[in-house]
Each structure stands twice: as C-alpha cells, then as structure tokens.
C-alpha cells in the first residue's frame, strides 16, 4: 500500500526504519514486545538517541528544535516507531508543557526549559487533578499565595503519571478566590526538589505503579515560574488538553497493541487450533482493526487540517473518545484471548485489560469529551 | 468544480417533493436528469480518456456519490456507470464493447449488473446460472435476483458459469445480455427504499461469443474488481445520507422544545448526537481510505480487503446514525411525509447492497491477517486540500 507515497517519503520511511533498527537498544525492544514496563533509564537512553538525531520533538517550531516535517512525515515517523516496537517519548515534557511554554511562556522560560526537555535533564509530570476536582477540574483548590517574589503553594494533586521519575511538575493552582472559578487559576512550574514536595505512590488495579499523589506543603516557588498571565491558567490548560487528547488517542500505539494481541492469540490454543484462527475471534479482531483504520484516517484528516494552519480544536475530543475505546476493545480481546492463561500475571493479558480501563477516564473522561463536543462543535 | 456543479444540481432539482414524485413515476427516475448527467460529463468522469472518458478516478465518483446521497438521488448511477460501465472499461475486449462504453458515457445506453442469485446471497463466486456453448454462441439458463433498475437498463452485465461447479471460483464469466433478448423474463418491483429492481429468469437465452467481457472462465477477479468500485461509490452515497440525517437531527434538537426547553439541552440526547457525529466522521474517514485503495488499485487482494473494511464501517456507522436519527426525532421521524425516514430506509438497504457487514467482515478476515495500517496519506492530503474534507 506504499505506492502513493512520493519517492522522498519512501526514502524518509527507510531512513526512520534504519535509525530505529540501529539505535533502539535490543533489550528495550524486547521489553516492548513482551509488554513489560520500562525503567526511567531506558526511556532516557532512547530519548537521548532521538534527540541526538534531532527527532525528539517533531511538533515544535524548528527554531526550538522541531523538525519541520510535513504531516505525512510525522505520520510515517509515528508509524515506524510503532512498527519498530520503539517506546513513545514521555509526553509530559515534549508534548504537553513544551507547547504551552512555546505558546505562552516568556523568552527566559523558553531558553531555560526547552533545552532541558530535549536533553531529558528534566522529567516533567502533570499536576492537574485533585481529589475534589476530576471532571470538574476548574473547581481545583490548590492555593498559590503571593508572598513577595514567591508563590507559596499548598494542596494535593493526584493521579500523576510517573511522578516518581519526575523532577519538575506543572501545576494548576488558584491565585484568586474572588473571581469565577475558571478565571482564578494560574499555570505554575514547580521544581520537585523544593522543600515541601512529597510523592506518594498509588497502586492501580493491574498491580502496577504508574500513578501518584503529589503533596505540596508551603512550597515556595519564584514568581518567574508563572507561565503567561496570572489567572489565565485555565486557557493554557485547555490548550494543553487539546494537544494531549490527540496524543492519548495513540493510533500508532494501538497498531502496536494489536500486534501484541495477535501474538497472544497465536500462543493460546483452543480445540487444537490457535485462538487467532478461530472464526469468531478473528472477526472480533477484524472489527477492531477496521475501526482503527478508520480512526487513523480521521487522525490524518485532523493533522492535514492542522498543517493547513488550524490549531488542534475540539475535534481532538472525538479522536480521544474513539482512540481510547479502541484501546479498550483491543485489551478486552487480550483478556478474552488469554482464556485460563489470563489468570497468570506472567501472561500480562489481564493486566493490559485492567490497566487500560484508565484510558476512557484520563485526560478528561469520555463523557466530558462528549459534553465538550456537544457544546463546542454541535452548539447544543 | 465538479463538487459545485453536483451540489447545485441537487439543491436546484432535487427537493424532497420532486424526489417523491420521481419515485412514484413509472420509470422511477428522470431521463432528463440522466441527459443532464451526460451533458455535465458525469457519466464518463472516472473512465480513461482512451476509452472516451474524462480521465478522472474514484475520487470524482466519490464526490458525485456523496452529493447524490445528500439528495437521495434516484438516477441509477451506480448500477449503470460504476458497475456496468466499469465492467466494460475493465473487461471490454472488442470495438463493439468500446462503442457500448461510449454510448453509456453519452447517456444513450443504460446498463446494470446482475450477479446475485437466489442461492448465492452476497457471494459472487456462487453462480448457478449456466452458459453452455452451442456452435459459436452461448445459451444461458438460470436467474438473477434484485437486479437494480433492470426494467430501464438496455443491457445487463451478467455473471454466468461457463465451467465447473456452482461454488467454484474458476469457471465464471461475465456476459452481456440485452434486456429484450428472447428468453429473458423479469419480475419488476419497487424496492422499500423507493428504487427499482427486478428478478430475472433466463430460459435458453442465446448470445454470441463476443458478448463475453474479459477472460472466459476467469471472470471472477473482474467481477470482484467491479464490485469493489461499486462498494466505493456506495460508501460515498452513505456519507451523503448520513450527513443529511446528522444535520437534520441536530437542527431538530435545537428547535424542538419540550418541558419548556430545546430537547438538545438534555445530556442523554447530547451524547447520542455526539456519537452520531463520531460515526459519521469514522465513516467519512474509511470512505477516503477505500477511495484511495481504488485510486491505487494495486493487487486485487489489497484493494478488496480495503473495500471490505470500508463496507463494514459504513454499514455499522450508517445503522447507528439512521436509527438515532429516527429516535431523536421522536414521532415525526416515523412519518412518511418527513424526509428523514426515507434516508433511513435508503441507508438500511444500502447496508446490504453488494454485501452486508457480516459478509464483508468474513471477506476481510479471509483476505488476510496483516495489519490494515499505512495507506496513502499523500494522496489523502491532496483530497483534503481539494476541499472535500
């Protein structure tokens, strides 16, 4: 199906493929293939190799280290990473806080933080949700009080992915309690080595430790760590979420999950033949694969619109809903394919299923995404 | 340009009332509209210039069909041009075949495709209709069902068995049979979606050897190719149908009031409306994918697999959008006088045209298990920038 790529695009694909096969550590690739968790070092090493090639931040403007790739090239790149079983770059720095800093930060912030993201010197995490502020994120209570040239921050952020590896956290905190809730929020960058920051692990139903609670007690942060204007944090947060949603759809990653599923279904036997060859199973798998194909074209349409100048808008909510539903459908088939083997944690099949229940909850639950589409696209 | 002209045709000439009157007429569509199609070049748009066409691709067909879907257009573009015309364009071997294609493009000849039989359901390789050699001729016995617009078509493209058993892939040929040939009888009916179809019986129908299109005994790949082009066109029509239903339903949610507020203010209905939009977007995306697979038309396996994927998603999305369109309209959605029900009925019959979701899911599985990823984003970008996205 390669025929309508231009010769340059096919050469680019070969270049990416060669790079991955030369640079991706075999142990990392093996872990990806088996569905094992990576260590921090493994992420850092891989991101370092991407960065050395200039490919860590394809979406950034070229002057900050972006690649100036076309939509097609980005698509090829993502697809080759997935096909080559390479890990995703950790999104919190490159794909989440960096676009906010680039769009709304000042020159000093850009000069300081962007190179440190590229070098993986900083590992970012996202301080958004609180116990009382989930879907209703704007009701968050973390309080940043101005004290001279510092903010003093108090509050507890939760569901924070890979905070145990992070040294930096971007925090949504309330800086004004006298205005409507969306207008009193600011976007503040916090060094996690500052006194008063503690991280507590949260173990999820799959037995893994991915997420954490981050407690902030009288944490003193210099005012220059405010991004943009005080009280505009909600606008920046929504901007970030729209970037995040396109990423969390993980279309290329879902093709990777699908390969993993096929491997699991090929290992299990039922009545003398592979589960993969069972007609009923094969049709369920085909159904998901077809929907994923449709979604990958939807994402291309969205990227094409973006490359024509439109910023990712509410349609990223649609990509998020469908993308996560597909991830869940694939992981549901993993536990189904497992049969009795699913009982054994070593097979991972049930772990994937349990773990991916998160996908329709994080980054704004799929119900919230539907509210967003109803309001902002359909005008209801 | 073609999009503008076909949108204008539908807006000016295809009001719901005008369409209803046409559906009730003897013919079931308008010859005058057909001449307009010919005059605007639509009948030849996707055929190569060397064959008298205008050198377009499946992209032009897609643009036309989406607009036809929005207008619930009745003229038999798919059976005559996409199916019948493609059979001539891909399978024509003689100058007589070329002349037929030219007459089709000029609007002087109507074709249709007769492949389904009482015992075959959607499977084109099951052919019980037999053609036996008799001197230089073939003599055909058997029958075909649900042949679209056969009463209006001058000539049928018919799948027949020239060799082998009923369900063998080898031994199938495509043959041209004139509607009025001796031994052809028809049972004509109006379909539940306002179109026309016929069940055909062939009793000792005699045709000359040059009535065969493509290779004798090896006609199945040609037939599958023709059907794939039909699937692409139907997918685009479905996008038009779904777009109309989605827009009309959304407008209704904003204007219909109950409990003193627009019903679109209720979250249960909002989420349904969002899911309609999502299904429409997925359907449109897979329609582009299928269309690109036709533009590329690489090996038959890749093409057929892509078009089966297309039909599965289209059928699934179309069923959801159609059912919700009726549900969210409440009682008015059930009324014969209201347009939405007619779109729903057309969508429901389109679901099974050239094979339903179950058939195509099985065909997709059969055609291979490699990932259906990575298609042709370069061409897609052109398509989006051409303004059809």
Using the Cβ of A346 and the Cβ atoms of chain B, whether some distance falls under 8 Å is answered with: no
Q: Which residues of B touch A300 (CB under 8 A)?
A: 285, 377, 380-381
| pLDDT top residue among B372 and A122 | A122
- Residue B294: pLDDT above 90? yes
B-contacting residues in A 282-301 (Cβ below 8 Å): 282-283, 286-287, 289-298, 300-301
The predicted pLDDT at position A240 comes to 86
Contact yes or no for A3 and B381 at CB 8 A = no
Q: What is the mean pLDDT of residues A144-166?
A: 97
Q: Which 8-state DSSP code applies to residue A74?
A: H
Using the Cβ of B151 and the Cβ atoms of chain A, whether some distance falls under 8 Å is answered with: no
**C-beta separation of B192 from B345 below 8 A:** yes
Distance CA B65, CA B270 (A): 29
The predicted pLDDT at position B386 comes to 46
- Residue A312: pLDDT above 80? no
Please write the tens of the pLDDT for every residue from A196-213: 999 999 999 999 899 999
A-contacting residues in B 182-221 (Cβ below 8 Å): none
**C-beta separation of A124 from A112 below 8 A:** no
B-contacting residues in A 69-108 (Cβ below 8 Å): 71-72, 75, 79, 83
Residue of B286, B365, B374 lying closest to A286 (CB–CB): B365
- Residue spans of the domains in chain A: they are 7-89, 124-231, 249-376
Distance CA B272, CA B268 (A): 7
CB-based contacts of B226, cutoff 8 Å, min separation 6: B83, B86, B87, B90, B91, B113, B157
The predicted pLDDT at position A5 comes to 73
Phi, psi of A81 (to 5 degrees): -60, -45
Contact yes or no for B384 and A377 at CB 8 A = no
CATH class of the domain comprising A249-376: mainly alpha
Closest chain A residue by Cα to residue B389: A301
Number of C-beta neighbours around residue B96 at 10 A? 12
Contact yes or no for A3 and B298 at CB 8 A = yes
Q: Which residues of B touch A294 (CB under 8 A)?
A: 282-283, 285-286, 289, 313
Mutation target to probe the B interface, by most B beta carbons within 10 A, among A70, A78, A262, A297 is A297
- Residue B335: pLDDT above 50? yes
- Residue A311: pLDDT above 80? no
Distance CA B60, CA A84 (A): 37
Using the Cβ of A4 and the Cβ atoms of chain B, whether some distance falls under 8 Å is answered with: yes
Q: What is the mean pLDDT of residues A47-74?
A: 93
The predicted pLDDT at position A34 comes to 79
Nearest chain A CA: its distance from B16 CA (Å): 25
Considering only A15-19, A251-255, B221-225, which range has the smallest mean pLDDT? A251-255
Closest CA to B40 of B90, B88, B4: B4
Closest CA to B272 of B232, B323, B316, B306: B323
Q: What is the mean pLDDT of residues A84-102?
A: 92
Classify A314 as helix, strand or coil.
coil
ipTM of the complex: 0.92
Give B119's pLDDT tier (boundaries 50, 70, 90): very high
Closest chain B residue by Cα to residue A4: B376
Q: Which residues of B touch A2 (CB under 8 A)?
A: 374
| pLDDT top residue among A345 and B348 | B348
Please write the tens of the pLDDT for every residue from A271-305: 889 999 999 999 999 999 999 999 988 888 877 77
Closest chain B residue by Cα to residue A77: B374
Structural domains in chain B, CATH included, are 2-109 (1.10.540.10), 112-213 (2.40.110.10), 220-388 (1.20.140.10)
Concerning whether A267 is annotated as a catalytic residue, the answer is no
Closest chain B residue by Cα to residue A303: B381
The predicted pLDDT at position A3 comes to 35
Q: Which residues of A touch B381 (CB under 8 A)?
A: 71-72, 300, 304
Please write the tens of the pLDDT for every residue from B167-201: 999 999 999 999 999 999 999 999 999 999 999 99
**C-beta separation of A216 from A154 below 8 A:** yes
Cβ pairs bridging A and B (under 8 Å): 147
Contact yes or no for A282 and B365 at CB 8 A = yes
- Residue B166: pLDDT above 50? yes
- Residue B353: pLDDT above 90? yes
Using the Cβ of B285 and the Cβ atoms of chain A, whether some distance falls under 8 Å is answered with: yes
Please write the tens of the pLDDT for every residue from A257-275: 998 899 999 999 988 899 9
- Residue B376: pLDDT above 60? no
Distance CA A131, CA A308 (A): 40
Report residue A349 CA to chain centroid gap. 22
Residue of B267, B277, B372 lying closest to A289 (CB–CB): B372
Q: Which of A210, A213, A230, A244 is catalytic?
A: A244
* Per-range mean pLDDT, top range of B12-16, B53-57, B101-105: B101-105
Please write the tens of the pLDDT for every residue from B194-244: 999 999 999 999 999 999 999 999 999 999 999 999 999 999 999 999 999
Contact yes or no for B283 and A258 at CB 8 A = no
Using the Cβ of B370 and the Cβ atoms of chain A, whether some distance falls under 8 Å is answered with: no
Q: What is the mean pLDDT of residues A34-39?
A: 84
Using the Cβ of A123 and the Cβ atoms of chain B, whether some distance falls under 8 Å is answered with: no
Report residue A214 CA to chain centroid gap. 19
% of chain A at pLDDT higher than 90: 73
Give B389's pLDDT tier (boundaries 50, 70, 90): very low
Instruction: Supply the mean pLDDT for chain B.
Output: 94
Residue of A2, A294, A373 lying closest to B277 (CB–CB): A373
Mutation target to probe the A interface, by most A beta carbons within 10 A, among B239, B278, B319 is B278
Distances (CA, A) of B56 to A369, B222, B284, B303: 40, 20, 20, 18
Question: Look-up: residue for tokens 């979420």?
Answer: A241
Number of C-beta neighbours around residue B206 at 10 A? 15
The predicted pLDDT at position B371 comes to 46
Contact yes or no for A380 and B273 at CB 8 A = yes
Closest CA to A2 of B375, B295, B383: B375
Instruction: Supply the mean pLDDT for chain A.
Output: 91
A124-231 CATH, one of 3.40.50.300, 3.30.1510.10, 2.40.110.10, 1.10.3720.10 = 2.40.110.10
Contact yes or no for B282 and A295 at CB 8 A = yes
In chain B, where do the E strands start and end?
Answer: 111-114, 130-134, 137-148, 155-161, 172-178, 184-190, 196-208, 212-213, 257-258, 261-262
Mutation target to probe the A interface, by most A beta carbons within 10 A, among B299, B320, B359, B374 is B374
Contact yes or no for B267 and A371 at CB 8 A = yes
Closest chain A residue by Cα to residue B378: A5
Give B77's pLDDT tier (boundaries 50, 70, 90): very high
Closest chain A residue by Cα to residue B387: A305
Please write the tens of the pLDDT for every residue from A347-375: 888 999 999 999 999 888 999 999 999 99
**C-beta separation of A271 from B354 below 8 A:** no
Alpha helical stretches, state H, A182-278:
233-248, 251-267
Using the Cβ of A259 and the Cβ atoms of chain B, whether some distance falls under 8 Å is answered with: yes
């Amino acid at each position: 199906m390669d025929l309508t790529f231009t010769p340059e695009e096919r050469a680019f694909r070969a270049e990416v493929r060669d790079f991955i096969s030369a640079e991706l550590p075999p142990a990392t690739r093996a872990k990806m293939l088996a569905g094992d968790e990576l260590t921090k070092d493994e992420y850092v090493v891989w991101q370092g190799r991407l960065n050395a090639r200039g490919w860590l931040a394809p979406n950034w403007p070229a002057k900050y280290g972006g690649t100036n790739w076309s939509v097609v090239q980005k698509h090829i790149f993502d697809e080759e990473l997935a096909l080559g079983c390479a890990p995703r770059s950790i999104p919190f720095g490159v794909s989440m806080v960096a676009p906010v800093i680039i769009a709304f930060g000042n020159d000093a912030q850009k000069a300081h933080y962007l190179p440190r993201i590229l070098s993986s010197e900083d590992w970012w995490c996202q301080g958004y949700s609180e116990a009382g502020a989930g879907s209703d994120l704007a009701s968050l209570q973390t309080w940043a009080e101005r004290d001279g040239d510092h903010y003093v921050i108090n509050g507890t952020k939760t569901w924070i992915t890979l905070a145990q590896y992070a040294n930096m956290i971007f925090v949504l905190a309330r800086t004004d309690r006298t205005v409507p809730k969306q207008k009193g929020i600011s976007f503040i960058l916090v060094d996690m080595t500052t006194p008063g920051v503690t991280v507590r692990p949260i173990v999820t139903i799959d037995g893994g430790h991915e997420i954490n609670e981050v407690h902030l007690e009288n944490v003193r942060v210099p005012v220059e760590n405010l991004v943009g204007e005080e009280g505009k944090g909600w606008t920046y947060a929504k901007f970030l979420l729209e970037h995040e949603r396109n990423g969390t759809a993980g279309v290329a990653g879902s093709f990777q999950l699908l390969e993993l599923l096929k491997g699991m279904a090929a290992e299990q036997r039922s009545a003398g033949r592979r589960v993969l060859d069972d007609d009923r199973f094969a049709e369920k798998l085909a159904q998901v694969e077809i929907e994923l194909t449709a979604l990958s074209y939807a994402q291309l349409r969205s990227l094409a619109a973006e490359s024509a100048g439109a910023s990712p808008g509410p349609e990223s909510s649609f990509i998020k809903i469908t993308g996560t539903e597909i991830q869940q459908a694939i992981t549901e088939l993993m536990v189904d394919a497992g049969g009795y083997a699913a009982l054994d944690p070593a097979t991972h099949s049930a772990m994937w299923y349990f773990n991916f229940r998160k996908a329709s909850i994080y980054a704004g639950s799929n119900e919230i995404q539907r509210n967003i589409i109803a309001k902002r696209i359909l005008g209801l | 340009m073609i999009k503008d002209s076909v949108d204008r045709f539908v807006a000016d000439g295809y009001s719901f009332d005008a369409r209803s009157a046409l559906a009730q007429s003897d013919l079931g569509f308008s010859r005058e509209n057909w001449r307009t199609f010919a005059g605007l070049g639509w009948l030849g748009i996707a055929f190569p210039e060397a064959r008298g066409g205008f050198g377009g691709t499946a992209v032009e067909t897609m643009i036309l069909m989406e607009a036809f879907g929005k207008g619930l257009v009745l003229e038999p573009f798919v059976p005559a041009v996409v199916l019948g015309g493609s059979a001539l364009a891909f399978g024509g071997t003689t100058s007589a075949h070329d002349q037929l294609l030219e007459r089709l493009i000029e609007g002087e000849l109507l074709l249709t495709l007769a492949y389904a039989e009482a015992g075959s359901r959607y499977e084109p390789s099951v052919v019980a209709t037999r053609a036996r050699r008799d001197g230089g001729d073939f003599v055909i016995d058997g029958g075909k069902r649900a042949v679209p617009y056969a009463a209006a078509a001058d000539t049928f493209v018919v799948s027949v068995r020239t060799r082998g058993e009923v369900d063998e892939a080898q031994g199938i040929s495509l043959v041209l049979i004139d509607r009025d040939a001796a031994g052809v009888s028809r049972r004509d009916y109006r379909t539940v979606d306002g179109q026309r179809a016929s069940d055909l019986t062939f009793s000792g129908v005699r045709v000359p050897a040059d009535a065969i299109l493509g290779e004798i005994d090896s006609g199945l790949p040609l037939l599958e190719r023709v059907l794939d082009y039909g699937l692409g066109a139907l997918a685009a029509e479905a996008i038009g149908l779904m777009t109309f239903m989605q827009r009309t339903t959304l407008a209704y949610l904003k204007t219909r009031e109950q409990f003193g507020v627009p019903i679109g203010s209720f979250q249960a209905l909002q989420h349904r409306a969002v899911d309609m939009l999502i299904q429409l977007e997925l359907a449109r995306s897979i329609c582009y994918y299928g269309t690109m697979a036709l533009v590329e038309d690489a090996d038959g396996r890749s093409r057929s697999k892509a078009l089966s994927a297309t039909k599965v998603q289209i059928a699934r999305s179309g069923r959801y959008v159609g059912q919700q369109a009726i549900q969210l309209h409440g009682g008015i959605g059930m009324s014969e006088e209201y347009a939405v029900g007619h779109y729903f009925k057309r969508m429901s019959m389109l679901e099974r045209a050239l094979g339903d979701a179950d058939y195509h899911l099985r065909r997709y599985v059969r055609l291979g298990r490699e990932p259906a990823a990575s298609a042709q984003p370069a061409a897609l970008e052109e398509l989006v920038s051409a303004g059809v996205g």
